Structure 1
Amino acid sequence: MDRSYIPEVATREQWLAARKALLEQEKALTRQRDALNRARRALPMVAVEEDYRFQGPQGEVRLLDLFEGRSQLIVYHFMYHMDRGEGCDGCSCLVDNIGHQSHLHARDTTLVLVSRAPLADLDAFKRRMGWTLPWYSSYGSRFNYDYQATCDETVAPVQYNYRDQAELQRLGLDYHLQGEQPGVSVFLRDGEQVFHTYSCYARGLEMLMSSFHYLDLTPFGRSEGWDGMPDLDGKGLNWTRLHDEYEQAAPAHDCCGHKA
């Protein structure tokens, strides 16, 4: 490891002074985050009129059924690469970070995964990863396209992270123009009526990655080779990997599926 990434040595008194100064910044960020959360909760909602259908363990189900009788539904749009027969590295890392759902259920909330891929493929990958979360297939449905989780201009105008095709191209984000994309969408139900309340994409999803937040506490951070972080001596760990592939050679693609 390049020793330039190792913090300088200080006395306990010097460390405490620097730590207290940082604490003020952390407190300010916490207050900002509270304000942002209030604004997120206050967003207006849109009635879902489309009769979306999904395939699950019990056969065909409606969007309403995904709530499992609760009032709130969080859908993680999981990128599944049918051409590779496996899930996106980044999405898989995020799902690895999801804990027991009892705390969500106690707060009238259900969390599910949805992917545009055959259910049999999803079930096989789910067994490989050792996951138990509910995972539904939206294959053959407009759901992914309508919520910006699949981009294909032959099906619908390209939109990702609230940017259209022209803006994505101008920013050099061509890998968001075609295929599966990561995201999260939130729904609320009032009786039989479902409403869409929130969606976010791209780096907005980092709030769901608890391992990133743990790593952000450390001197080396996420070790991804950007923003002053080391890249772990080129060991191929500068991108997330499937948790059973960290001992293998680095893949030829990053977690979003485009070439590394």
Structure 2
Amino acid sequence: MVEVDPATRLIGSDGPVSLVDVFDGRSQLIAYFQMWHTGKPAAEQCEGCTFSTAHMGELSYLHSRDVTYATFSEGAYEESSRYRDFMGWTMPWYSVPRESVAELVADRHFGILVSYLRDGDRVFETYWTTGRGNEPMAPSYGLLDMTVYGRQEYWEDSPEGWPQRWGSRGGQFRLDGRPTAQWSRIEAGRDDDLGPRSEL
């Protein structure tokens, strides 16, 4: 376990909060660190992070085990939370300001899944993973692994003639130029404009 400063600052819907506050009174926290491409449109946001985060809907099962889940975005709260809203995600969402990146990311990169433990007012990082280690967030892969054609990715050892149409460098999470999960939102008429909102 590595101790982390519990006062590390994040930005949430009500402004600045400390890391220990993100636990929401629970003893454990799982945080997914979502990559963000500042100033880029929704279609150009990280397809892998969108894939992972899109699977995180019902949190009550985690809460019943004294675990909070939150997404920590690399981007500014104002911009990245508009993406969360466009996607229809309801999980707690925070931005990691520049001064907090060194404490929380610690020479790694966004796209990591991290577990924390709170002991009173002290916070410890207990686990982290990235890449394929993030797959527990996305049950779609587990379900695809049970089908006859599997994930249909090029790396799979499939018989001649079986469908293999996806690489493993992000393209498997995109369809027609944008993260796949965005298409149902576009078809439902949601606005994917991440620019500043006008004041009413």
> What TM bracket, shorter-length normalisation?
0.7 to 0.9
- Which of residues 10, 28, 33 in structure 2 aligns to 1:72? 28
**Runs of 5+ in structure 1 lacking a partner?**
1-44, 150-158, 161-179, 249-260
Whether 1:61 and 2:17 are equivalent positions in the alignment is yes
**Alpha-carbon distance in 1 for matches of 2:56, 2:41:** 22
Q: Which residue number corresponds to residue 164 of structure 2?
A: 231
Q: Which residue number corresponds to residue 193 of structure 2?
A: none
Count of aligned pairs between the two proteins = 172
- Which of residues 35, 48, 52 in structure 1 aligns to 2:8? 52
Per chain length, whose mean CA-contact separation is higher, i.e. which structure has more relative contact order (CA < 8 Å, sep 6+)? 2
**Alpha-carbon distance in 2 for matches of 1:139, 1:103:** 29
Q: Structure 1 residues 190-199 or 63-72, which shifts more?
A: 190-199
**Alpha-carbon distance in 2 for matches of 1:51, 1:199:** 20
Whether 1:240 and 2:162 are equivalent positions in the alignment is no
- Which of residues 36, 45, 57 in structure 2 aligns to 1:99? 57
Q: TM-score, normalised by structure 2?
A: 0.77
CA contact (8 A) 1:231 1:238 kept: no
**Runs of 5+ in structure 2 lacking a partner?**
187-200
**Alpha-carbon distance in 1 for matches of 2:6, 2:21:** 14
| Partner secondary structure for residue 173 of structure 2 | coil
- What displacement does 1:147 show? 4.3
Instruction: Look at both structures and tell me which one has the larger radius of gyration over its CA atoms.
Output: 1
Q: Which residue number corresponds to residue 110 of structure 2?
A: 181
CA contact (8 A) 2:27 2:119 kept: yes
**Alpha-carbon distance in 2 for matches of 1:181, 1:90:** 11
**Alpha-carbon distance in 2 for matches of 1:136, 1:79:** 12
- Which of residues 129, 142, 165 in structure 1 aligns to 2:100? 142
**Alpha-carbon distance in 2 for matches of 1:62, 1:181:** 19
Q: Percent identity?
A: 35
Q: TM-score, normalised by structure 1?
A: 0.60
Q: Which residue number corresponds to residue 113 of structure 1?
A: 71
| Partner secondary structure for residue 74 of structure 1 | strand
Summarize deviations over 1:228-259 as a string: whole Å, max 9, x none.
Answer: 3533499xx9511221248x9xxxxxxxxxxx
- Which of residues 119, 130, 148 in structure 2 aligns to 1:201? 130
- What displacement does 1:146 show? 4.0
**Alpha-carbon distance in 1 for matches of 2:36, 2:166:** 30
CA contact (8 A) 1:114 1:135 kept: yes
CA contact (8 A) 1:115 1:139 kept: no
Residue identity matched to 1:225:
Y
**Alpha-carbon distance in 2 for matches of 1:106, 1:219:** 35
**Alpha-carbon distance in 2 for matches of 1:192, 1:147:** 17
Residue identity matched to 1:185:
V
- Which of residues 37, 40, 47 in structure 2 aligns to 1:81? 37
